[in-house]
Amino acid sequence: MQSTQFDLGGRRAIITGGAQGIGKAIAERFLASGAKVALWDVDPMLEETASELGGAGDVIGQKVDVSNFDAVKAATDEVVAQWGGVDILCANAGIAGPTSTLWEYPIDQWLAVQNVNVNGVFYCARAVVPHMIAQNYGRIINTASIAGKEGNPNASAYSTSKAAVIGMTKSLGKELSQHNISVNCITPVTADTRILDQMSEEFIEYMRSKIPRGRFITVAEIAATVSWMASEENGFTTAGIYDLSGGRATY
């Protein structure tokens, strides 16, 4: 199937969690559409991915822990110094955390999930948004989850964090509504990525059984939606939640 091409020519994008999975697929799509891409990750695959994708366009790989605001701010400053600004932010980095009932959930793991999945999105927006306001242009796409809408049993930390991302997206989108900046998020079901390594086989099958399509979403399907959301054509919708759940949720 031939991909629809959205014009991202000359746009400067930051993609967190860009070394593998959804983030890498988004990066590939952005590069094919003409964007420059900064990949942020702590994954050891970062350097290899940046090198691999470098043949497709302008790519920089930055080792960034999104749960550390100083690291996020420093990396943002580097991108702005090199490219003159930031047009697109895909706040995609996330961790699943262990499978556990809420009353038995390890407190340190709960905090770790919130620090990456919630604080990480906040820190990235806090660092990048002032640059977008200054140029009166920007597209922000946050990766939430169907778990943020419906809640998954034995995944309270993850579900809570993704519900927070949805709420943050709605607030920020309204705050920036008078600027040419669109802020939206996606709520996919599970994709077949490395995040499944953190989950039990029983839980994986539970999640698959809830999807009317009968399968997990592909990273290419997610990247296709995000590429439009990141384009100039998406100039009106903001504070929106884009469902990518294969019919599991319709709101």
Task: Provide φ and ψ at 143, rounded to 5°.
Answer: -95, 105
User: Which DSSP string do the residues of 53-92 spell out, in sequence order?
Assistant: HGGGS-EEEEE--TT-HHHHHHHHHHHHHHHS---EEEE-
List, for residues 208-240, the tens digit of each pLDDT value.
Answer: 999 999 999 999 999 999 999 999 999 999 999
Residue 2, pLDDT > 60, answer no
Mean pLDDT of the chain: 95
pTM for the model stands at 0.95
Q: Which residues are identified as catalytic? A: 158
Domains and CATH numbers, the chain: 12-241 (3.40.50.720)
Considering only CA atoms, give the Rg of the chain.
17
Instruction: Give mean pLDDT, residues 169-185.
Output: 98
